[in-house]
Structure 1
Amino acid sequence: MSYAMWARGVEWLAAASTDPRNCKREWDQGHGVTLLEAGRYWNVLSVPDRLGLLTLDLLWQPTLPVPGPTLVDTAAQRVGFFLPPDPASRWIGDGLRHVGRGSWVAVPPPYRPARFLEWLIPPDGTGALHSPATLELALRQANGTLAVLPPPRGA
């Protein structure tokens, strides 16, 4: 990721804060994580990490656009896909959590991990997000694959 793209990603993500300057200061000088409100610029679909990582792998195809911002929380074992805000959205499935208006998301800066949070695909500042229809198809395919695989060790 180039410096210009990184800087645009910081500005785009911080714009979701009620105080973008303080948000950037917290990333640089504080704990490295800030809470951003979902629902204005983006929503997040949070899925179990095994499903999310396989889904993201399926989204990396030459025939599809580059996937949108994607965050992993290794402590909670979840992957978050950033989607366009849609108050009427109804995501149904085992372990799926749709985070929209009125909800807050812990977010590290786009340029480094913080605590247990890390960008798998950081925002590039263009406002590009995951396409809900494309994401839904990839989730269905990944879920079908996981249904026939043995559970991971220790599960």
Structure 2
Amino acid sequence: MTTNTMWMRGVEWLAAAAADPRTCKWEWDHGEGIALLEAGRFWDVLSVPDRLGLLALDLLWRPSLPVPGPTLVDTAAGRVGFFLPPEPSGGWVGAGLRHVTRGAWVTVPPPYRPTRALEWLVPPDGTGTLHSPGSLEEALRQANGTLAVLTPPCAP
């Protein structure tokens, strides 16, 4: 699949979560370059602090594993967002973790370019591939353990 085809499929996949997909695509190309999309229908987002998220994504990006699901970084907020299957029951617990699901909205740029402080680390390819909750949880555990070793203890 060519990069251009992947981007166009990613655009259609993401825009399907918008209240008005046409307006969403117009905003990406001619408006502010961002769209507000509803979580909880096609996907949820697990937002984590950037150091944790970048390390976890690195752990997920292994030749022996499938390509990770869509992953968004917000450099202004210092957050990484992992797109995963909708999970109404939640279950994500941890310092700094935010589970964005039904009733919440996510600001996203188009898959083909960054906008403001938002950029796709892994853009959606339009196939509907999302992060596996189990794999993501394990990568976050490992990343958290690594950060605990790397971060010096606070002085009393």
What TM-score, normalized by structure 1, do the two folds share? 0.96
1:91 alignment counterpart: 92
User: Does residue 1:12 correspond to 2:20, yes or no?
Assistant: no
2:23 alignment counterpart: 22
Q: CA deviation at 1:2?
A: 1.4
2:105 alignment counterpart: 104
Q: Percentage identity across aligned positions? A: 76
| Structure 1: unaligned runs, 5 residues or longer | none
User: Aligned letter for 1:91?
Assistant: W
Q: Within 2, Cα distance between the matches of 1:116 and 1:61?
A: 27
User: Aligned letter for 1:73?
Assistant: D
User: Aligned letter for 2:42?
Assistant: Y
Deviations 1:99-145 (A, max 9, x none): 00000000000000001100000000000000000000000000000
Structure 1: which 4+ aligned runs deviate by more than 3 Å? none
Deviations 1:14-47 (A, max 9, x none): 0000100000000000010110000000000000
Superposition map of 1:47-58 within 5 A: 47-58=48-59
Deviations 1:59-110 (A, max 9, x none): 0111211000000000000000000001012100000000000000000000
Q: Within 2, Cα distance between the matches of 1:2 and 1:108?
A: 17
User: Does residue 1:59 correspond to 2:48, yes or no?
Assistant: no
Q: Within 1, Cα distance between the matches of 2:35 and 2:90?
A: 25
2:128 alignment counterpart: 127
Paired residues, what number? 151
User: Does residue 1:35 correspond to 2:36, yes or no?
Assistant: yes
Q: Secondary structure at the match of 1:94?
A: coil
| Structure 2: unaligned runs, 5 residues or longer | none
User: Aligned letter for 1:89?
Assistant: G
User: Aligned letter for 1:24?
Assistant: K
Q: Secondary structure at the match of 1:115?
A: coil
Superposition map of 1:65-84 within 5 A: 65-84=66-85
Q: Secondary structure at the match of 2:24?
A: helix
Q: CA deviation at 1:11?
A: 0.2
2:117 alignment counterpart: 116
User: Aligned letter for 2:8?
Assistant: A
RMSD: 0.8
